[in-house]
Amino acid sequence: MSGRISDSTVRRLSLYLRMLRDLERAGVEFVSSSQLAEPSGATSAQVRKDLSHFGSFGKRGRGYSVDGLVRALENILGLSRSWRLALVGVGKIGSALLGYGGLAARGFDVVAAFDVDEAKIGTRAHGLRIRPMRELRPVIAECGAEIGVVATPTEVAAEVAAELERAGVGAILNFAPIELSEVNGVPIRTVDIVLELEGLSYLMSESGRRTGSDA
């Protein structure tokens, strides 16, 4: 088991965990791979293959213990602890993140916020004091943030990511529409809304072209 695990497998594990938590809350004790597969659009074989990379969690003929699998997946995904986030850029997206309770609820606490705007520095946003960029390194070191969040304009995103990496974060979540290259093995995930919209644009144009020439 367990070689290099693909991105898509990890995504699905997260989705399985979500469903399992719902089931746990509902008091369900056992679940089969096919039930688990449904909400994420996977197949039962895929569920079993995904889990098999990490061990043997089910009972043949019975399925998986909901509690047991929740704990196992929390361990695999590193979600049996909580993570501290440092946010850079308290603009539209940054503020939305600060106000979004869903993060803290799932174990991702924003513990520091930074901006370059003098007017914002010192003020509080959702209970968090906004600090100047100059304090980025010492504050991150002090509060021990593990994940850096880049919510700045595109032009400075790469530089900010590099600075976060130097400050010691172990991973970066980037909202700027730019592909940041991973340095020093610090993984980066980019959330690029325009890219998603352009993907939809392609699909709509495609289907238009198809039906257009068919009809």
For its own copies, the binding residues (CB under 8 A) are: 5, 7, 10-11, 13-15, 17-18, 39-41, 76-79, 83, 85, 92-93, 95-97, 99-100, 102-103, 106, 108, 146-147, 170-173, 177, 179, 181, 185, 187, 189, 191, 193-208
Position 62 contacts DNA (CB under 7 A): yes
For the CB of residue 61, give the shortest distance to its own copies in the complex, in Å: 28
User: Does residue 184 come out as left (phi exceeding 0), alpha (psi in the -120 to 50 range) or beta?
Assistant: left
Query: Within 10 A of 66 (CB to CB), how many other CB atoms are there?
Result: 22
Interface mask toward DNA for 42-61; x: CB under 7 A: xxxxx-xx-xx---xxxxxx
The counts of H helices and E strands in the chain are 9, 10
Of these, 18, 19, 32, 191, which contacts DNA (CB under 7 A)?
32
Return the SS3 of 81. coil
User: Does residue 41 come out as left (phi exceeding 0), alpha (psi in the -120 to 50 range) or beta?
Assistant: left
| Residue closer to DNA (CB basis): 4 or 25 | 4
Dihedral pair phi/psi, residue 147, rounded to 5°: -120, 130
Residues that bind DNA (CB under 7 A): 1, 4, 6-9, 32-34, 42-46, 48-49, 51-52, 56-64
